Amino acid sequence: MIYEGKQKIWADYQKEIPEDHYFYVRSCIRQSFFPASEVTFLDITRNKLGKDIFETEHHTTCGGIAYHSDAIPQETAMTIIARQFALMKKYGYENYVCSCITSFGLYCETMETWREYPELQEKIADNLWKSCHLEFAKPKFLVHASDLIFKYRNQIAAKSKYKLVNVKTGEPLRVVEHIGCHYSKMFPSKGVGGAEYPYVLVGMVEAWGGQIIDYPERRHCCGFGFRQYMIQSNRGYSLSNTHKKFESMEPFKPDMIITNCPGCPYFLDRWQYVIAETEGKTYGENGHGIPVFTYEEVAGLVMGYDPWDLGLQTHQVGVEPLLDKMGIPYDPAKKYLGKNGKNIGEPEKPHCLK
């Protein structure tokens, strides 16, 4: 009886993710700070797995960061979103995949509000026509790009060169997964596994050989807070929340962190640097930080991409301890080179963080 009850609850969080044919929309933060992650996503899905993932240069920001910083009205954000959806229809797609969790949450909020208030949807459709002369449309399926990597996780595992396993001990790597609040906290049924037990990253880590760490502040926000980061004098909010998470995960000795949202890896990486430089505290082994990755970067490492092609040199927390554990070869001399070996200097060394 109890088992059946659990199955029923779990059934609410099974997300239908079509196999193929998607209209792809990029993320402002992922493009800015992790451009190679989006390149890797498209290379894996299109070239390694043969999927049809279409992109047009005509899509823009969804406006999500401005909306959640209260800097544009809800109606403005909704009309920008309607424009994105209309472009999907114009190019002949009905499945929509976005690279950003803020966008994903805002799309869910918008579509749910339209469903409940058809008169608002009608107004937005009218706004869209008046401003852009585009026909209103909604996706048949809305997914986040990590949903697709989750769906393809076993195909990726089948093509893998490396596993999330410590090659020296043979033990699974200890992985912290961080989902990003707007993936499923607002609309649990829209995310793989819901809000309390999201499975989107756990599924990847398990398929690729790692072991998930559970820790008290696992579901706590990374601390972005939109306006709480954008304005320097509010930034203590952001730092404090990241600090709370690291203090909570530290006793469990994570080897790495995998993230879902494009903002979270930036904050979890950079605030470790700030904590190290200001307080002398580091959370990894021997003065290192805990390396933080996007899910595309982890998929790329597992599949044997060169770490520097994945852009791991643009992280502030060094990734080498993790590469060594996985047995991934890398050339330190090539870490900071530009295209075709161009010398573009290299970053200064942090004072405390190794």
Q: Taking the complex as a whole, how short is the minimal distance between the CB of residue 118 and another protein, in angstroms? A: 12
Q: Taking the complex as a whole, how short is the minimal distance between the CB of residue 214 and another protein, in angstroms? A: 17
Q: Is 209 in the site for another protein (CB under 8 A)?
A: no
Question: Which residues in 218-247 contact another protein (CB under 8 A)?
Answer: 219-221, 223-228, 230-237, 239-241, 244
Among 162, 250, 350, 352, binds another protein (CB under 8 A): 350
Euclidean distance between the first and the last CA atom of the chain, given in angstroms as a whole number:
53
Q: Which residue lies nearer to another protein by CB, 72 or 212?
A: 72
Q: Is 189 in the site for another protein (CB under 8 A)?
A: no
Task: Please give the structure tokens belonging to residue 112.
Answer: 């749910």
Burial readout 178-203 (b: 16 or more C-beta within 10 A, e: otherwise):
bbbbbbbbbbbebbbbbbeebbbbbb
Give Cβ neighbours of residue 11 (< 8 Å, ≥ 6 apart).
none
Among 186, 212, 323, 352, binds another protein (CB under 8 A): 186
- Binding-residue pattern over the window 319 to 348 for another protein, x denoting contact by CB under 8 A: -----------------xxxx--x-xxxxx
Q: Is 248 in the site for another protein (CB under 8 A)?
A: no
Stretch that binds another protein, among 10-18, 66-74, 205-213, 249-257 (CB under 8 A): 66-74
* CB half-sphere exposure, 326, CA atoms < 13 A: 31
Question: Which residues in 253-272 contact another protein (CB under 8 A)?
Answer: 270-271
Stretch that binds another protein, among 11-19, 113-121, 145-153, 323-331 (CB under 8 A): 113-121
Q: Is 349 in the site for another protein (CB under 8 A)?
A: yes
Q: Taking the complex as a whole, how short is the minimal distance between the CB of residue 25 and another protein, in angstroms? A: 11
Among 15, 22, 44, 63, binds another protein (CB under 8 A): 63
Q: Which residue lies nearer to another protein by CB, 4 or 348?
A: 348
Q: Taking the complex as a whole, how short is the minimal distance between the CB of residue 171 and another protein, in angstroms? A: 30
Among 29, 53, 176, 249, binds another protein (CB under 8 A): 29
Among 95, 127, 259, 282, binds another protein (CB under 8 A): 127
Q: Is 211 in the site for another protein (CB under 8 A)?
A: no
Q: Is 117 in the site for another protein (CB under 8 A)?
A: yes
